[in-house]
Amino acid sequence: MEKILVLDFGGQYNQLIARRVREEHVYAEIRSFDRVALSEIERESYKGILFTGGPNSVYDPDSPRYDPRILDLGIPILGICYGAQLIAAMAGGEVSGAENGSEYGKTLLKADDPVLFRDVPAESVCWMSHTDFISSVPRGFKVLAVTDKCPCAAMGCAEKKIYGVQFHPEVTHTACGKQILHNFLFSVCGCKGDWDAADYAARAIESYRTRLKGKKVLLALSGGVDSSVAALLLHRAIGQDLTCVFVDHGLLRKGEGDFVENTFRKRFGVNLIRVDAGERFLRKLSGVREPEKKRRIIGEEFIRVFEEEARKFGRVHVLAQGTIYPDVIESGKGASAVIKSHHNVGGLPDTIAFDEIVEPLRDLFKDEVRRVGTMLGLPRELVWRQPFPGPGLGVRIIGEITGEKIAALQEADAIFREEVEAAHDGKRPDQYFAVLTDTHTVGVMGDARTYGYTVALRAVSTDDFMTAEWSRLPYEALERASSRITNEVPGISRVVYDVSSKPPATVEWE
């Protein structure tokens, strides 16, 4: 399989670079510069290497560096931003601090090169974000592009197949960024572009079929996208040798437990054990108000329930998990083993003995996991399910959690989701839900005074959930949701809409 190395120097767009490469049907893997040795790079026979950006100046004594012999391996290289400056510095060029100010934002790029800028207009918009710049290119290199402020917006040495761009081709603001990356991959590296997430999954199924033959495999299914796709993929490979344990902690959304059970057991014939542990979780949570304590209790209890189920199996050979590529990268461990709790609430069961862990999605990005899910026939509602925190409604009920509160929130949340979905045929908010606050307010119903709870509605748009904007929902949708919630859900006398962005607020209330 042809593959590209994304050598990570700490840039904020490193995952985006790898995704763009994969969009060109070339497999890309991200490795931190300090975790991959030159000898390993040689051994892996990469078709090309991308140096990412980074926060430093190449002249900082602590700035990330790499063995300069990487430039002599004969592997094509494209440096981006800091990566380009690093190539210049390593190869004997010069990098200077920008005297007339840094460049930030959309900038007019004037480019001229038949290889890297093939099919790119002589003038186009690129995205800049830098202070230092390459003031003198190394011997053998040519300046391939400039901007008004930057005398070297791109450089290259066609003979050594080494290039550098000061701008960011991976962000969509760079009009021809996709074309430039395409040129690098296909014209410079000579890639064929035969990688595809769905084919990859099909091959994985074949290989698991042999590798896991006759072994007992256990997977904690949460109903989230990742564990659902992992479950189906393994089910295709080993059928009834896979057992999924679905712990219903009673803090799921309305109807969700039944939906997950029906989908997997009835529709796909997956060997599924559903554990209805709602009462048990409620007992543990009784009287607890502090958010982190709730999280901890839910996480720990989850593991205990899962362990108890697993013990009924006797020996478990393989524990399967829905870890995906961003989890692997974010753990900072690169390609070394990473163990994520099945749905982010606890840790890994510590009293189950197993021989190996299998993570069938550990090389895939979220959008690729969704592609695989679609290929495997997973229903749309699951493939495009909005994120739902592991501790579930437990962190959406402010204050103490009781059975009545869960029931009220499930109803209010279902109504709100229905109204948002009815109002949006196109792009919906990325996450939308109701929160049951701990505040009672006075209301009036008929001639009587009421004193019910306040429900808060939350809807956000976001790319990565690190930052988020509150969604401008149509007033009519809010009105319908509010009126239905106060009419249909007993005990709720007021509905408010959350207009806080993240930061400073978070998406969840707890």
Q: Which residues bind ligand XMP (CB under 6 A)?
A: 295, 343-345, 387, 389-391, 431, 465, 502, 506-508
Shortest Å, Cβ 37 to ligand XMP: 35
Nearer to ligand XMP, 83 or 389 (CB): 389
Residues 13, 174 contacting (CB under 8 angstroms): no
Nearer to ligand XMP, 236 or 343 (CB): 343
Nearer to ligand XMP, 104 or 465 (CB): 465
Shortest Å, Cβ 322 to ligand XMP: 12
Nearer to ligand XMP, 134 or 361 (CB): 361
CA distances from 56 to 5, 42, 50, 60, 308 (A): 21, 27, 17, 7, 50
Shortest Å, Cβ 340 to ligand XMP: 10
Question: d(Cα 218, Cα 460) in Å, to the nearest integer?
Answer: 35
Single out the residue of 45, 21, 41, 23 nearest to residue 31, CA to CA.
41
Q: Which token pair is 351?
A: 């009293």
Burial class (CB in 10 A: 0-12, 13-18, 19+), 135: middle
Residues 431, 473 contacting (CB under 8 angstroms): no
Choosing from 130, 168, 182, 342, the catalytic residue is 168
Q: 310-327 as b/e, with b when 16 or more CB fall inside 10 Å? A: beeeeebbbbbbbbbbbb
Question: d(Cα 10, Cα 80) in Å, to the nearest integer?
Answer: 12
Nearer to ligand XMP, 93 or 390 (CB): 390
Nearer to ligand XMP, 391 or 452 (CB): 391
Shortest Å, Cβ 91 to ligand XMP: 42
Single out the residue of 269, 253, 388, 287 nearest to residue 261, CA to CA.
269
CA distances from 338 to 27, 163, 359, 411, 433 (A): 20, 34, 9, 38, 31
Question: d(Cα 505, Cα 263) in Å, to the nearest integer?
Answer: 35
Shortest Å, Cβ 354 to ligand XMP: 23
Shortest Å, Cβ 502 to ligand XMP: 5
Shortest Å, Cβ 465 to ligand XMP: 4
Nearer to ligand XMP, 48 or 429 (CB): 429
Radius of gyration of the chain from Cα atoms?
26
Mark whether 343 is an active-site residue. no
Shortest Å, Cβ 281 to ligand XMP: 15
Choosing from 2, 29, 103, 170, the catalytic residue is 170
Mark whether 170 is an active-site residue. yes
Is residue 491 left, alpha or beta, with left meaning phi > 0 and alpha meaning psi from -120 to 50?
Answer: left
Query: Residue 54: what residue type?
Result: G
Shortest Å, Cβ 81 to ligand XMP: 28
Nearer to ligand XMP, 63 or 500 (CB): 500
Choosing from 2, 81, 309, 359, the catalytic residue is 81
Q: Which residue do the tokens 């070297």 mark?
A: 152
Burial class (CB in 10 A: 0-12, 13-18, 19+), 355: exposed
Q: Indicate the SS3 state at residue 349.
A: coil
Residues 481, 397 contacting (CB under 8 angstroms): no
Sign of the Cα torsion 487, 488, 494, 497 reads negative
Mark whether 191 is an active-site residue. no
Shortest Å, Cβ 469 to ligand XMP: 12
Cβ contacts of 368 within 8 Å, gap of 6 or more: 22, 197
Burial class (CB in 10 A: 0-12, 13-18, 19+), 388: buried
Residues 80, 89 contacting (CB under 8 angstroms): no
Nearer to ligand XMP, 22 or 295 (CB): 295
Nearer to ligand XMP, 21 or 345 (CB): 345
Question: d(Cα 228, Cα 503) in Å, to the nearest integer?
Answer: 31
Catalytic residue positions, numbered: 81, 168, 170
